[in-house]
Amino acid sequence: MTRLRIDLAYNGAGFHGWAVQPDRRTVQGVIEEALGRILHGHGEHAEAPRLTVAGRTDAGVHASHQVCHVDVSDQALARCVGHMQVTAVKALETRLSRMMPDDIAIHAVSVAPDGFDARFSALERTYVYRIADARVPWDPRLRDFVWRTDRELDIAQMNAAAALTLGLHDFGSFAIANPGGTTIREVKTAYWQRVPTRSLIEPGMGERYHAPAVESGLLCFTIVADAFARNMVRSLVGACVQVGMGKRDVDWFAGKMHVPLREGSTGPIAPQGLTLEHVAYPGDGKLAARAERIRAKRTL
């Protein structure tokens, strides 16, 4: 068997999340079906390839950099070459890319190093949530990956709330634990920032050449953590937005951090503004040790 690492991206608008669900279009389902056809053909009754992903995204959530792995037999991998003058792995990458719909992009397929596990070996994940508030004119082209509000948000208050998430905490007020798991996570970075208005065209060429970059003026929440519990990022964003609108204050947010109790005021915000932007891994020699450590149940 050979373990392959797959780096990919997708627009989540047309998917019911990452994970396979009966009679639902999911990212995992689309890719596994394509892999099955490539590796086993239409007539073989082999076990379908199963993907393990770095982070399961919810329905409507996007990924500009997602990572997963799959174990394939050496015989099935060798058959991918066919008439192509390339390696078996490159042949699989080419065939898989060609079978993807427009809302999934395969960036790379490679042989995974020893000890690699897309989920448990990861050091950290980076998510960004994008908002268009009243400070910027609404661009309808952004509707798939930006959340819109007609209110102007107070970024200073939102950053005061976000700062309270840094470090190791129980995020039980903002997340749902997996069966047998916890909502304890370590947040390494969390901040709000407005994207500067910048031109795509070199300055000094005159007003008629003005063409602002598409993200100009958007309010973005960037958060980096070793892992995320279900609904954690969207719920933190939703709570920060309540603070930014003046509906809640920073003390309320601090109370939710101090007492990890899930209730109605800290539910997740709409999914379309959220994108998984990056997954980081340690050096090859530390992959197995990292995976073993993360499989252990966390405590504070």
Torsion region of 167: left, alpha or beta (phi above 0 gives left; psi -120 to 50 gives alpha): left
Tokens 């795509």 belong to 200
State the pairing for strand pair 62-72/124-132. unpaired
How far apart are the C-alpha atoms of 46 and 36, rounded to whole Å?
Answer: 8
Q: Which of 161, 155, 297 is nearest to 227 (CA)?
A: 297
Number of H helices, E strands in the chain: 7, 10
CA-based end-to-end distance of the chain: 38
E-state strands within 93-159: 104-111, 124-132, 147-148
Residue partners of 62: CB distance under 8 A and separation at least 6: 9, 10, 11, 12, 13, 144, 145, 272, 274, 275, 276
Instruction: Please identify which of the residues 7, 58, 117, 170 carries the catalytic annotation.
Output: 58
Query: Is 133 known to be catalytic?
Result: no
The sign of the torsion formed by the CA atoms of 191, 197, 200, 201 equals negative
Annotated catalytic residues are 58
